[in-house]
Chain A
Amino acid sequence: MGLAVGLYDVSKHFGPVVAVDHLTIEIEEGEVFGLLGPNGAGKTTTVRMICGLLRPTSGRVVVLGHEMPREALEARRHIGLLPQESDVYEALTGRENLEYFGRLYGLEGEELARRVEEVLRLVGLEERADDRAGEYSGGMKRRLMVARAIVHDPELVILDEPTMGLDVFAVRRIRRLVRRLAEGGRTVLLTTNDLEDAERTCDRVAIIDRGRLIAIGTIRELEERFQEKGLEELFIRLIEGGEGEGP
């Protein structure tokens, strides 16, 4: 197994605000990796640096063997992103939304049509595919966004808070989808506040707070290391107690 993402001593400053502070994380290919942290911990900034949308103030970001953001265009062919706050083009149908992004990723003709059908089926939107996305419910829109992130069959799928604000059925469907992606050999980077999401889907997690790495490992490893049962208790103790193993 190679390395899907490597963050090496990465920092990001916005003026006087330090959003990410000397973060070092390695994510293996084929694993579901959870990036956990309270609001404002620096998860979204980290995701944006991984996608090459933000340039780190210092440190190195390597994604699928590509230096970011210098080789971002090449790397992005193999990355699928679901941003934390996103929406769909409401005037287009669900299918048209997917076709648009498929084309931007270089898919054409039969391959495009096949991939669109596949992902529509995968997220359970095949029956409403030709309805305007503006008529979709919140859960359906989120599913369409997940489909949009994987329409080009990326090697690395980044889902930033994918279950935020969804009902229990939609949450379960997305969790199942994440596992299926991993079974298909894809690397999934999941950032979330929802610890149940992480417990049910992630192979390894990293907990960050105020841009710093607090802990990293499998959930079992972390429970043993910090002598705490359950991710929620562990999370609260690490964040509120200021404990951890950061740099």
Chain B
Amino acid sequence: MRPWAVVAGKEVKEQLRSRKALFTLLIIPLLTWIGMGLMHAFIFGSMSSTGPLATPLDIHLAVEDQGPYGLLAEQVVYAVASNMNALVHEVSYQEGLKLAEEGSTVLFIWVPPNFTYCLNRTGLARLGIWVDQTSARASAIAHAVVSIINSMVAEKKVDAVQKPIRKMPITLVMLSLMIMMSAMWGPMPTITSSFAGERERKTLEVLLATPVRRRSILVGKLLAAGFSAAIYMSSSVLGLAIYNGLVSWATAGMVGFESPALTLEQAAVVIAAAVLTVILSASVGIVISCFARSVRDAETYYSAIFMLPLMLVSGTAFMRFEELPLVLRAIVMAIPFSHGVLMVNNALIYGAPPGALFFSAAYMLAWSIGALLVGAKLFEREEIVETRRRGRRRWLRR
């Protein structure tokens, strides 16, 4: 056998015997693409009019101009809506206005009575558009309607007077990102180095041989993880405050610009959501750490396990939850990490009742306690000491 083949053979054999390599090479790419595929399939599938995941969006239209341009505008709205799987409900101006004020629609388009007249007389007319900025599809439809009408009226120009039904606070993206990062990176260094690190350093056996209950060791390590998470959270909150200050200063005096500063109540919800996410992440981290033989192994498993939920949670963060198809909503609701983001969205945008916030908090807490109980059970196993594999993978030994 040639030397390069000998070297290659040994390398491949090592890789096949490494659980970590298996995760990195096989599971992570699979999870990444499955997560991405699920997200895109559901998001774009929900916008299609005929696909299996089609989720119609209700929008409202009031046409008060029966002139040619009024009828043109109406046809454009129907065409765009049909293309983006939206159902157009024709209403009167008063009805539409009421729906918009109540927040019961994501898009209300009003073609005023003088639309054709203004275009013919002055070459300029206006459409009234009330749009929920948290709905990507509603915003896209509004934008497309104005663009297409403008492209069809030749030398004339149509303006849209846009009024937000709900605003998308500029901090939302940052906050959601912070919540997700808290889940991923907050307590990770401490948790992964807790048991896996002790095992890697060969100090776990001597620690377990002390007259200390394993439960006490577990609680001690969890508290230490909480400490590092608290530092992480403090620095995140401070960073966010600086961010808020900078944006407020830079945008001071801008007309129609929502202040990015959080109220005390909103800040409390954000911090509570982040703390719960960190607790949950720490609890799941302990379960992972019970299986991993080294810190690097633990980090790999941690990344792999968080990959899919994070893909889905990111969808929750950046698009209107109600617009996701029912199946995806159910999946997202089942994933405990989603609830941190949902708490923030509900508090900052939708003004959901406190019950919804408490449900999310309780759900995350229940998962944390469940994961801790599983971790405690796993920590009692004797395999936690016996790190060598015995009698396994004989098929790879030849």
Contacts and interface: CB of A to CB of B under 8 A. Distances in A.
Given A88-B203, A89-B201, A14 B210 contact: no
B202 A54 contact: no
Interface stretch (B232-240, B289-297, B330-338, B386-394): B386-394
Interface in A38-86: 48, 51-55, 73-74, 76-77, 79, 81-83, 85-86
B203 A81 contact: no
Contact of A83 (B205, B213, B392): B205
Given A16-B391, A54-B385, A86 B210 contact: no
Contacts of B391: 14-17
B293 to A, nearest CB: 13
A85 B206 CA distance: 10
Contacts of B392: 15
Interface string B188-225: 00000000000001110111111111000000000000
Nearest to A81: B209
B210 to A, nearest CB: 4
Nearest to A48: B385
A20 B210 CA distance: 24
Contacts of B206: 81-83, 86, 101, 145, 148-149
Contacts of A87: 201-203
Given A83-B205, A87-B201, A76 B210 contact: yes
A160 B205 CA distance: 12
B390 A15 contact: yes
A85 B390 contact: no
Interface in A98-116: 101, 104-106
Contact of B211 (A55, A73, A90): A73
B139 to A, nearest CB: 52
Contact of A53 (B201, B205, B213, B390): B205
A14 B209 contact: no
B202 A55 contact: no
A148 B201 CA distance: 15
A53 B379 CA distance: 12
B209 A53 contact: yes
Contact of A77 (B201, B211, B213): B211
Contact of A85 (B202, B208, B210, B212): B202
A210 to B, nearest CB: 14
Contacts of A104: 207, 210-212
Interface residues of A, number: 32
Contacts of A106: 211
Contacts of A55: 382
A19 B206 CA distance: 21
Nearest to A97: B203
B186 to A, nearest CB: 21
Interface string A114-125: 000000000000
Given A15-B390, A17-B391, A83-B202, A53 B211 contact: no
Interface in B339-398: 382, 385-386, 390-392
Given A17-B391, A53-B208, A76-B211, A86 B385 contact: no
Interface in B23-49: none
Contacts of A19: 390
Interface residues of B, number: 18
Nearest to A89: B203
A105 B206 CA distance: 12
Nearest to B382: A54
Contacts of A85: 202
Interface string B104-116: 0000000000000
A105 B210 contact: yes
A104 B208 CA distance: 10
B292 to A, nearest CB: 17
Given A14-B390, A15-B392, A86 B212 contact: no
A101 to B, nearest CB: 7
A62 to B, nearest CB: 17
A155 to B, nearest CB: 13
A87 B202 CA distance: 6
Contacts of B205: 48, 53, 81, 83, 86
A17 B264 CA distance: 62
Contacts of B385: 48, 53-54
Contacts of B201: 87, 89-90
A48 B208 CA distance: 10
A89 B204 CA distance: 11
Contacts of B208: 53
A26 to B, nearest CB: 22
Nearest to A78: B211
Contacts of A82: 206
Given A17-B390, A53-B205, A105-B211, 14 more contacts: A19-B390, A53-B209, A73-B211, A83-B202, A83-B209, A86-B202, A86-B203, A89-B201, A89-B203, A104-B210, A104-B211, A104-B212, A105-B210, A148-B206
18 contacts: A48-B205, A48-B386, A51-B209, A53-B205, A53-B382, A54-B385, A55-B382, A73-B211, A74-B211, A81-B209, A83-B205, A83-B209, A85-B202, A87-B202, A90-B201, A104-B207, A104-B212, A148-B206
The 4 A-B residue pairs with the shortest CB-CB distance in the complex, in nearest-first order? A14-B390, A76-B211, A104-B210, A15-B391
Interface of B: 201-203, 205-213, 382, 385-386, 390-392
